[in-house]
Amino acid sequence: MNMQQREEKQLENTIQAILIRVNDLKSAIQSLITKLETEYETINWPTFLDNYAILSGHLTALSKILQAELASSLRSRIVLPLQLGCERDEALARLTEGRVPACTHDLVPDLLRTKPEPQAEQRLQQFNHKASTLSYDTAQKQVAQFAKVVSHVWEIISKGREDWEGESMRSAGIQPTHILADTHALVTAVGTGKGLRPGMPSIVPAGIGAPGMGPSRGPAPQMGPSAPSLPKAPSAIKTNIKSANQIHPYR
pLDDT digits (tens, 9 = 90+) for 24-48: 998 999 888 888 888 888 888 888 8
Question: At residue 116, does pLDDT exceed 70?
Answer: yes
Question: At residue 152, does pLDDT exceed 90?
Answer: yes
- Label residue 99 by pLDDT band (50, 70, 90): confident
Q: Would you tell me how many other CB atoms lie within 10 Å of the CB of residue 188?
A: 13
Report the sign of the C-alpha dihedral through residues 151, 153, 156, 157, in that order: negative
Contact at 8 Å (CB) between 89 and 103? yes
Q: Which spans in the chain are helix H?
A: 3-38, 45-67, 90-95, 108-111, 118-132, 136-171, 180-192
How much is the pTM? 0.42
Distance between the two ends of the chain, CA-based, in angstroms?
A: 85
Give the CA distances from residue 172 to residues 76, 114, 160, 167, in Å, rounded to whole numbers and listed in that order: 66, 57, 18, 8
In the predicted model, what is the mean pLDDT of residues 96-122? 83
Angle at 124 between CA 118 and CA 125, to 5 degrees: 90
Contacts of 116 (CB under 8 A, 6+ apart): 124
Question: At residue 149, does pLDDT exceed 90?
Answer: yes
Percent of the chain with pLDDT over 70: 72
Range name among 73-82, 146-155, 181-190 with the lowest pLDDT average:
73-82
Work out the burial of residue 25: count CB atoms within 10 Å of its CB; fewer than 13 is exposed, 13-18 middle, 19 or more buried: middle
Give the pLDDT score at 117: 82
Question: At residue 12, does pLDDT exceed 90?
Answer: no
Q: How far apart are CA 114 and CA 119, in angstroms?
A: 14
Q: How far apart are CA 122 and CA 115, in angstroms?
A: 12
Q: Which of 12 and 151 is assigned the larger pLDDT?
A: 151
- Label residue 233 by pLDDT band (50, 70, 90): low
What type of residue sits at position 112? L
